[in-house]
Amino acid sequence: QHAKGKVYPINDKSTPNVQEVELLNLTPLTPQRLTGRAGSVYAHVSGDPSYDEPQDVEVEQKAAPDENGDFLYEPSASQPAFNDSFAEVNVYYHLDRMDSWFREKQGVNLDYDLMVVVNFGPDQQAYDNAFYTPWKGIHKHAIFLGQGWNDDFSYDSDVFLHEFTHFVNSTAISLSNGPIDFDQYGLVIMPGAMEEGTADYFSSTVNDDPIVGEAALGPYARDPTEDVGQCPGALFGESHEDGKLIGTMGWAIRTAIGAELADALIWNTMAMLPNSSTFADVAKGIKAGAAALKADGKIDEQKEAKVIAALTDRGLDKCPRFLDLQEKKGLTSYMMGLDFVGELMGGYPCNQLKKYLALSSTFQFKFKPEPGATSVRFKVELDDVMGGGTRNWGVYVSRDTPVLFGGGYNDPPKPEQFDHKKEGITTSSGELVIDANSDPPFDPKWEYHVVIAHTNCAFTRATITPESSDEPIVIDAGVEAGADATIPPPKDAGIPKEAGVVDAAPPIPNELVDDAEITGGACGCRTAGAPASKAPWLLAGLAALFAARRRPRG
């Protein structure tokens, strides 16, 4: 059950000297292969899980022991290398290490069937990425580690530990259905960000190193010590970027109370969250866990205050599903466009996606008029940040309850239960007025919920401003003339941004992270006990409409 192997302790950049270690928990086989308590390690032979059925993807356990029963391979001297058994050995060591950490430190039952595939590169072409996906082949779960042009993702344990956390999240707690999802309230992105943030955090804490992927990800390595802003202004819709709010929170808590307590606090909080949870739910769980630690004498008031500061510094405690609007000031948040979603799905054009998919604003907003008000105007301004093109969007308002969405496989998700609407807007400005002449008429006793639904191509910054008045509102007849200027998207670094790839997506450009315009007050959370039922138009279902280009789930 034990053998020796040569590995990189962390990766080939930060720990470049290969060390000889024990490979623990191997399963006795004849002949012996790298199969153990945590799963089996294979080399990729042929096939592409993005397109092919599992039975058409060929893998093989190539690494074999020497006459002493050991796996003492040397790393490849050049990349890409598609026949590299050192990669199998290196990954088995870190597979068992991470599996043992979850079992022994967090008490997680990991009796699941996992295979890990190294040297992955369809048609012997380099693949600069890695992903976890449920599997229907000889194993039930799979992690594919790309053989990059210059770096082997199997050589960087940060990448593998990150992917292994996705595997654990998927099998043990099921936080997310993917990077983008929908439910009865519209777009759901925070669970995907939690997936990425916790994967970054646990990768970092197990390796005792805050940088995630300094070897394989290069300039896209993520640093849980950096300043990433606050929610909602730092929430963009790209799960890796949004996940930095969770990853940096975790590292700040670890710094405040130590790795052992922080790891358990963060894991136990995430394990208790229902599907479609929000950052506000995370904050609520962390606060409750910190209070319990203080009651048990494990931390003092000063350390508890630092834990809470890790939440408030990132605005997580004020980031639920429904955001309060402040009259005259309004609130700004980012809104994904179909160009962006098309990139996540592998390069589909906006005009094609419009046939099958509509999007909503990241949040629903709520506003309570003054008691003496006689009307309310909701003004919306859209500013293109990436991309451009024509617009088609609408504003939907519901009295005292959220706007509810419906739809199906052949019917894009859209608002179905609401009281007021203004749709078919093709300019960058729009407004919806509710007064005595509206049906139903304005009544200040109601709290009004607002959401934007659209098929816009551009990634935009949306500002919603409510104006309530005790005087009649005059409708502004002025509209913008002409098409808005198109802003070309920035060039990426050639790293795929697929729906199923969960690691190396490029970060949101720096120009998006300026939240100086973001204003807003305290938020109320209504999702902690909300039903977690899923509408049938999840992107996993949408992908079935493009059966020729299936993508593994991350």
- In tens digits, the chain (554 residues) has pLDDT values of 689 999 999 999 999 999 999 999 999 887 799 999 999 999 999 999 988 999 999 999 999 999 999 999 999 988 888 999 999 999 999 999 999 999 999 999 888 899 999 999 999 899 999 999 999 888 999 999 999 999 999 999 999 999 999 999 988 887 776 667 888 999 999 999 999 999 999 999 999 998 999 999 988 899 999 999 999 999 998 899 999 999 999 999 999 999 999 999 999 999 999 888 999 999 999 999 999 999 999 999 999 999 999 999 999 999 999 999 986 678 999 999 999 888 877 788 999 888 888 999 999 999 999 999 999 999 999 999 999 888 999 999 999 999 999 976 567 789 999 999 999 999 999 999 999 999 999 999 999 999 999 999 999 999 999 998 876 555 543 333 233 323 233 322 233 333 333 343 333 333 333 332 222 222 222 212 222 222 223 333 333 333 333 334 34
C-alpha closest to that of 336 among 231, 193, 189? 189
Residue whose C-alpha is closest to residue 79's, from 142, 133, 13:
13
In angstroms, the CA 426 to CA 430 distance is 9
Q: List the one residue out of 480, 449, 441 whose CA is nearest residue 466.
A: 449
Rounded to whole angstroms, how far apart are CA atoms 145 and 130?
Answer: 5
Name residue, tokens 């007021």.
Answer: 420
CB 324 within 8 A of CB 522: yes
Rounded Cα distance between 7 and 152, Å, is 13
- Give start and end residues of each alpha helix (H) in 318-375: 338-344, 350-353
User: CB of 94 within 8 A of CB of 153?
Assistant: no
Tokens of 335: 């809104």
Helices 259-272 and 279-295 cross at an angle (nearest 10°) of: 130
